[in-house]
Structure 1
Amino acid sequence: MSLTGLGVAAFSAVLLAPAVALADPQPGCTAADMANVATGVAASTSGYLYAHPDVNEFYTDLRNRPDDEVPEAVRSFFDGNPQAHSDLLGLRQPLTDFRARCGLPQPERPLLDQ
């Protein structure tokens, strides 16, 4: 997996994006279930960003960059901060697990604008 990242707004969009509709969802795979998982991921991510002011500042400053520069800036940041990349992927894991368990597609770039 290539090192990609997220902007705070982009990450929020990932968490709150509606799930692909399932004709007959399995137990635990409803929209409410996804919202519950996404809420937990969002809360954990918020706590992480408050506890890591350097990471929080980096993502906050992304809003000052042109959109086409954001992906490379994030890749570069994670190249220099692999632990932050690993931490954020770990925080997002419950959403990844939910999608896998419920037969929903995984985003190609889970930490960048999906």
Structure 2
Amino acid sequence: MKNSSIAARRKVAGISAGFLLGGLTVGIIGAPSAAAAPDCSPAGVNATVSSVQGAAEQYLAAHPDTNQVVTAAYGQPRPEAESSLRGYFTAHPQQYYDLRGILAPIGDTERQCNVKALPPLLESAYQEFMAG
């Protein structure tokens, strides 16, 4: 039971990398310096996504109200989830900016390496979320 809870939480965190729809999330993981060449190998891209997922999990664990909204959105139809997330993050802009910053390394890696780091459904939601 505990393993399924952990797996579900990881899935939610991964989805927050893309399913935080409606546009909302910035700041805790520092981006690599402009002089550093990104690791564009599949392992490097996966490491970035894993790192972001871990940071998102930690953030959500430390912010139960945000975690509750994100977790609930995961089980909702996309339009309803988008509306719910947009409403929450509009009312809580700091959480949006915090999460957006946490998720930013995924977009940085995608741009620098010219790859898509997420599955199509998550990629679409990620782009929508990051656009605000």
TM-score (norm 2): 0.59
Tell me if 1:8 matches 2:19: no
Question: Who is 1:70 aligned against?
Answer: 81
Stretches of structure 2 lacking an aligned partner (at least 5 in a row): 1-10, 19-36, 117-122
The partner residue of 1:56 within 62, 67, 71 is: 67
RMSD (Å) for aligned C-alpha atoms: 3.0
Distance 1:62 1:27 in 2: 32
Moved over 3 A (4+): 63-67, 104-108
SS in 2 for 1:109: helix
Shift, 1:66, TM fit: 3.5
Which residue identity does 2:15 align to in structure 1?
Answer: F
Distance 2:68 2:15 in 1: 15
Shift, 1:12, TM fit: 6.1
Question: Who is 1:18 aligned against?
Answer: none
TM-score (norm 1): 0.68
Stretches of structure 1 lacking an aligned partner (at least 5 in a row): 1-6, 15-25
Across the two proteins, how many residue pairs are aligned to each other?
95
Q: Percent of aligned positions with the same letter in both sequences?
A: 29
Alpha carbons of 1:12 and 1:30: their partners in 2 closer, same or farther (altered >3 Å)?
A: farther
Question: Who is 1:43 aligned against?
Answer: 54
Which residue identity does 1:34 align to in structure 2?
Answer: V
SS in 2 for 1:29: coil
